[in-house]
Amino acid sequence: MAALQVLFVCTGNICRSPSAEAVLRQRLETAGLDAQIHVDSAGTHAYHTGDSPSELALRSGVKRGYDLTALRARQVTPEDFETFDVISAMDQGHLEILRQLCPPDYLQRIQLFMEHAPQPLQGQDVPDPYYGGPEDYERTLDLIEEGMGGLIKHLRSRL
């Protein structure tokens, strides 16, 4: 069992959160931390349960060396709040939904993904690229990569 469990959450779990999952998995592997930290992703809604990440998310990931092909969308479950040590919302809307769903004992586990990002990005939302084009998916990955360093630093401090 991993020492820490991290869950990324967006709306349908086919764009932002699986992209963040793939980025963190790769960075943990590079840092030799993949055995200590388990990573998953989920959506606040069941729109795409069982589906692969969106085609543009897959393509954007491949261009940067991230493999999202094995990932499948799922919805956040009540058990996730107990299981995951860090539940990272991709935007303020997800943060609010998670806080409403979460039992009070686990509220401290929920955070905004960009909370650990450097200024001036700290605390921003990662915008939803779903209705956009390839450039929107590239921007999503830019933000995820920018925010990931701070999240990894935070996770290391908890190991």
Which is the catalytic residue, given 15, 16, 74, 80? 16
The edge-to-edge listing of strands for the beta sheet with 86-89 is 37-43, 4-10, 86-89, 110-112
Task: Assess whether the previous peptide bond of 120 is cis (omega < 30° from 0).
Answer: yes
Alpha helices in 1-159 (DSSP H): 16-31, 55-63, 78-83, 92-101, 134-158
Is 15 a known active-site residue? no
* Sign of the alpha-carbon torsion through 53, 22, 56, 8: positive
Is 102 a known active-site residue? no
Cα-based angle 125, 20, 47 (whole degrees, multiple of 5)? 80
Which is the catalytic residue, given 10, 40, 102, 109? 10
């686990």: which residue's tokens?
106
Identify whether the C-beta of residue 41 lies closer than 8 Å to the C-beta of residue 7.
Answer: yes
Which is the catalytic residue, given 40, 80, 91, 128? 128
Residues involved in catalysis: 10, 16, 128
